[in-house]
Chain A
Amino acid sequence: MKQAGRWGYLLPLLCFVVFAFDLPVLRMLLVSVDNPADRLSAFRELFATPVYLRVVVITFKIAFATAVLCGLFGYILAYWIYTMQSARWRIFFLGTVGMTFWISILARTYAWIVILGNNGLINRTLLELNIVNAPVSLIYNEVGILIGTVNVLLPIVVLPLYAAMSGLDNRLLAAARSLGASELRVFWQIFFPLTLPALAAGSMLVFILTLGFFVTPAILGGNRVPMVATVLDSFINVISEWQLAAALSSTLLLITVLLYFFYKKLLGMSSSQQKEANT
């Protein structure tokens, strides 16, 4: 009876996930082999054309760099907020981080053009100070994409990291200090390992989100750096090759899932090592 009741509460959510998410993904997988004469024709074309695989590689490269940079900056930012004495300032800075979620990605991306463009704030300052004599290319290349994606996705790392840090049992740190550990050692041996899972989860999330990014690469990359989402757009809206689009998406999905399992395994290993070390 109790079990059935629990299912009753879960059912609407379950239905929503199945109908709004799982079935469309399944349909996409089916579209990719939707050619009775030759089921794998789309995949064959994909793998026979180096350019598409290269686009996948570039996308993973940018996603990986974004995840690393978000992890690094996010950790520093979260730690800085965590160490603030005044609760009011902590709330203020968390608020400024969270507030960026309310501003449209498009507006934020275009704002970078004003700052990074040839005629933008940075280049004008550099030119005025005679540091450079021609504008530096800060957008319309991979650097531009990275700046944009890191900026957009940073809060996704900062907020869970802050939550993990403030949820930490302070007595552990106090105990380490009472046993004579230096602040540096307390951080690296106690604090960092305990917040690592949150850092890893946040970075993984950023990695996965960057894989499907469309607006930022299209605008800040000047479309000179093709990523999977922009190529998918041209498959669907320009040459109307849905089968190829589905095959490319399925490939991306497969690689992502594989990477995710790899990551789970790594994480599982590190936490079991920790347990062993603890015992």
Chain B
Amino acid sequence: MFDAIRLQALGVASALISASATMAGAQDVTEIRLMEMGGISGEAVQAAYIDPFERKTGIKIVRENPASLGKIKAMVESGNPTVDMMLLTDGWLAQAKVEGLLEPLDWEAIDPAPILPGARDDYAIGWSYASAVMAWDSEAKAPETWADFWNLADFPGKRSLPDDPSIVLPIALLADGVPKDALYPLDLDRAFNKLKEIRPAISVWWTSAGQSAQLLIDKEVTYGMTYNGRVYGKPNVNYTFNEGYLVLSWWGVPKGTPPERQAAAMKFFHETTLPENEAVAMQMIPYSGASAQLDGVIPQDKLADFPTTAGNAEIQWTANREAWQQVAAEAEKRWQQFKLGL
């Protein structure tokens, strides 16, 4: 009995000691947390950026996944963010900025190696370009444009597109002949009308990148949209960067992250701008880093495989998220109606 009480007291005492130890160590960050997308992309982040960062700074990075806009919002609203750095899609970034969910970045502390101007934002740093491209069964007739994709007579077969109006509406406009630099502000009526033409041929409105590639690999659909990294090197799937959607992934810091942890995050962001690190990631998965000096670190014969190199960026379109934000709620509602056939 007595022993049990003593044991309890000991337990309480040691808990107190360890608690005070963490308080004392607050100035000296030994571990920060990062939320990313998991899978091969998470492994690439680990090998290309986290490993060199840990070697240089001695600060450990713990990965969590998958990231989502809902998680950032819940975290910030609770007043106690449980991660220090978070992957943001460009759509989430626009929304997170509107709602004030992010800390501003200290670009002087990041001290980036030269990166593309589009990857610099007051609240986030762009680190990975991917392309949502038109892809098809290699035995089928090859389309070149979204107008071909819409042409069910000359390019017969089932199709799949993302369950995401912010991507589908612009490509419907491209298919309807709108030039890629005149997409915004989006003409919703025109886009939905064009979408009606293709609706009967759509088997799946996909929700995950893995699913989008699997549909093509399994020949569940003949034509589809998928991310270039997901079908790269797959023998029975071809794709083109032409009229693809060039999209940038960002890192951001949730609002309420303590300053010393923010400082550690800035050091990590610096690591993501170095071309030699980006080259490691690009060997694992064919998405481009945001460095402006990639040509020097990527083998010449591989340049055409990446979203931003060898002129690939110029033939794609990018989203204007500020303009999208204006119509997002309305478009989402009409999107649900459209899917229901209303």
Contacts and interface: CB of A to CB of B under 8 A. Distances in A.
Given A218-B207, A237-B68, A238-B91, A118 B333 contact: no
Given A51-B333, A219-B211, A224 B205 contact: yes
Interface stretch (A3-11, A15-23, A158-166, A239-247): A239-247
Nearest to A239: B332
Contacts of A177: none
A196 interface: no
Interface residues of B, number: 30
A224 B204 contact: yes
Contacts of A211: none
Interface stretch (B301-309, B312-320, B334-342): B334-342
Contact of B73 (A113, A117, A242): A242
Given A117-B218, A117-B220, A239-B328, A226 B73 contact: no
A51 B340 contact: yes
Interface in A198-221: 218-219
A142 B177 CA distance: 34
Nearest to B206: A223
B266 to A, nearest CB: 27
Interface residues of A, number: 28
B202 interface: yes
A39 interface: no
A185 interface: no
Contacts of A240: 69-70, 73, 95, 99
Given A223-B163, A223-B207, A224-B204, A54 B340 contact: yes
**Interface core residue of A55, A237, A238 (most chain B CB under 10 Å):** A238
B95 A234 contact: no
Given A118-B220, A119-B218, A224-B204, A236 B332 contact: no
A49 B333 contact: yes
Contacts of A52: 336
A157 B160 CA distance: 36
A226 B69 CA distance: 21
Interface of A: 49-52, 54-55, 58, 113, 117-119, 137, 140, 218-219, 222-224, 226, 231, 234, 236-242
5 A-B pairs with least C-beta separation: A222-B204, A223-B205, A236-B70, A51-B337, A223-B163
